[in-house]
């Protein structure tokens, strides 16, 4: 089940909310939410619920083991962390990376080992990191152990962030799991945030995705240089509105049930460097690697460049078992190293326009690498983008695609920068200054929200292209 589905919007979510708020006790609400979360996860692939529950049991027990050892002062607490890492990363490696490893062993050695054909359990990369972070934080003494398995299962399985993040730390929601209050104002704000995320996904991302696929889904080569760049630009918009839209929906749904999740995006395409881009893109993943890999290895104090290399190799590998993801991650890691060495100083001194152009250029090249799991097609596309593909500069199909969709592309570009935040801030100030206005910010917001929900619903009725890109990871 996905959020951008009419059944979820008009059946699953309302029924869940009715049962949830019909129960008055916090423990009862936890049980309702955990049950609906398991149903949500099992909707498409029921068997993977077993894996999710196993992961929850493992780290619930690891947390209790660490607490027991700490009370006994026997110095064995670290075994709980080792257990969490070995079991969780072992499961992740089995399902996500075993085929990739064996394929490469066969290529390097000439062997014909059988490649396992495991389906990737949805969301495994996200909930694996969540459970590991809990165990590590209990070991560090940052959070108290959760003694209720139901409460811990709820933390692991909350459907609004289970399958595509953001990666939520236990410390962020520990208090709200045990005791939370929700006002009608927060429910309303959460609903508005959900609808905005839905619109980003259905109205913008899906349109950009179809345009990207038409230009980059070639058999031999892009039809022109313009087609290659146009396709990559559309993909950059698609993946941003897809993932940030999902994060908005997750955050909005959390608010509707009394949870407050961290922001996952902060207008990444206004960045002036690769370093800044990764402070603004998928913030929860970046902070996870910073706090659980980079800093424990020494951070900026010891072997900084080695630490960066490890983090960015892992960042690429986390996104998928394919060489293009590893190259993508290591490429950004190398750029960030160069920026830390000297380039950031230059970028800060030159006019902002040029540093923005630099950042957008490397981001688009990065998304090109990210798109193609076929390394041959990746090479062809990159050569074409720089005029070495033996194809014309432009073609009529690309020109037609651009002109026919110019309005939605312009809207997408405008929304991807902080224009809305600026306008809404100005409108609120203007409203406060006026003694009495016929139109308030809230009334406009209500009208816009209703219109976006209606338009998104209408588009979902006839839409066949509706993937969530980050379900792959």
Name the residues annotated as catalytic: 319
d(Cα 201, Cα 238) in Å, to the nearest integer? 8
Give the total residue count for the chain: 473
- Rounded distance between C-alpha atoms, residue 190 and residue 472, angstroms: 26
Phi, psi of 242 (to 5 degrees): -65, -55
Q: Which of 270, 269, 250, 268 is nearest to 260 (CA)?
A: 250
Phi first, then psi: give them for residue 388, nearest 5 degrees. -110, 15
State how far the Cα of 59 lies from the Cα of 329, in Å rounded to an integer. Answer: 29
Could you give the angle at the alpha carbon of 8 between the alpha carbons of 5 and 211, nearest 5°?
15
CB atoms inside a 10 Å sphere around CB 219: 5
In sequence order, what are the residues at sequence separation of 6 or more whose Cβ sits closer than 8 angstroms to the Cβ of residue 76? 69
**191 Cβ contact partners less than 8 Å away, ≥ 6 residues apart:** 252, 256, 449
List of residues 6+ apart from 394 with CB closer than 8 A: 224, 225, 226, 227
DSSP state of 114: P
Peptide bond connecting 166 to the previous residue in cis, omega within 30 degrees of 0: yes
Task: Take residue 80 and report the two structure tokens written for it.
Answer: 């709980």
Cα–Cα distances in angstroms (integers) from residue 459 to residues 210, 404, 405, 445, in the given order: 14, 18, 16, 21
Q: How far is CA 437 from CA 349, 413, 429, in A?
A: 45, 31, 13
How many helices (H) and strands (E) the chain has is answered by: 24, 0
Query: What's the first-to-final CA gap in the chain, in angstroms?
Result: 16
Contact 99, 115 (CB under 8 A): yes
For residue 398, give the nearest of 217, 209, 229, 237 by alpha carbon: 229
Cα atoms in the 13 Å half-sphere on the side-chain side of 244: 22
Token reading at 180: 């939370």
* Distance of alpha carbon 83 from alpha carbon 90, whole angstroms: 10
């Amino acid at each position: 089940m996905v959020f951008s589905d009419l059944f979820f919007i008009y059946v699953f979510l309302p029924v869940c909310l009715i049962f949830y708020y019909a129960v008055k006790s916090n423990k009862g609400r936890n049980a309702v939410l955990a049950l609906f979360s398991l149903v949500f996860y099992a909707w498409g692939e029921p068997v993977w619920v077993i894996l999710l529950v196993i992961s929850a049991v493992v780290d619930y027990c690891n947390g209790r083991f660490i607490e027991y050892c700490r009370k006994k002062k026997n110095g064995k607490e670290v075994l709980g962390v080792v257990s969490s890492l070995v079991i969780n990363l072992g499961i992740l490696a089995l399902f996500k990376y075993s085929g990739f490893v064996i394929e490469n062993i066969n290529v390097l050695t000439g062997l014909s080992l059988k490649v396992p054909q495991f389906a990737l359990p949805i969301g495994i990369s996200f909930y694996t990191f969540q459970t590991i972070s809990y165990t590590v934080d209990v070991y560090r003494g940052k959070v108290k152990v959760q003694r209720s398995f139901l409460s811990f299962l709820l933390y692991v399985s909350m459907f609004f962030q289970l399958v595509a993040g953001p990666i939520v730390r236990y410390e962020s929601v520990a208090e709200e799991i045990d005791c939370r209050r929700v006002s009608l104002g927060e429910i309303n704000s959460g609903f508005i945030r959900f609808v905005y995320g839905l619109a980003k996904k259905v109205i913008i991302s899906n349109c950009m995705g179809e345009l990207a696929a038409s230009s980059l889904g070639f058999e031999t080569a892009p039809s022109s240089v313009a087609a290659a760049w146009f396709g990559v630009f559309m993909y950059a918009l698609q993946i941003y509105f897809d993932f940030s839209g999902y994060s908005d929906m997750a955050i909005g749904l959390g608010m509707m049930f009394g949870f407050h999740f961290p922001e996952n995006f902060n207008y990444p395409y206004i960045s002036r460097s690769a370093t800044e881009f990764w402070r603004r893109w998928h913030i929860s993943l970046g902070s996870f690697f910073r706090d659980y890999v980079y800093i424990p290895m020494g951070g900026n104090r010891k072997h900084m460049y080695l630490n960066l290399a490890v983090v960015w190799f892992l960042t690429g590998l986390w996104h998928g078992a394919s060489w293009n993801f590893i190259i993508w991650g290591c490429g950004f890691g190398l750029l960030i190293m160069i920026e830390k060495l000297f380039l950031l100083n230059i970028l800060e001194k030159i006019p902002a326009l040029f540093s923005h152009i630099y950042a957008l250029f490397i981001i688009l090249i990065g998304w090109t690498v990210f798109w193609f799991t076929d390394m041959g097609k990746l090479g062809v596309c990159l050569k074409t983008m720089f005029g070495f593909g033996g194809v014309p500069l432009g073609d009529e199909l690309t020109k037609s695609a651009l002109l026919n969709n110019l309005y939605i592309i312009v809207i997408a570009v405008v929304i991807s920068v902080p224009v809305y935040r600026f306008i809404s801030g100005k409108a609120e100030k203007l409203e406060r200054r006026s003694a009495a206005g016929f139109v308030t910010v809230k009334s406009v917001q209500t009208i816009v929200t209703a219109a976006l929900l209606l338009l998104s619903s209408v588009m979902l009725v006839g839409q066949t292209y509706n993937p969530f890109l980050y379900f792959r990871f």
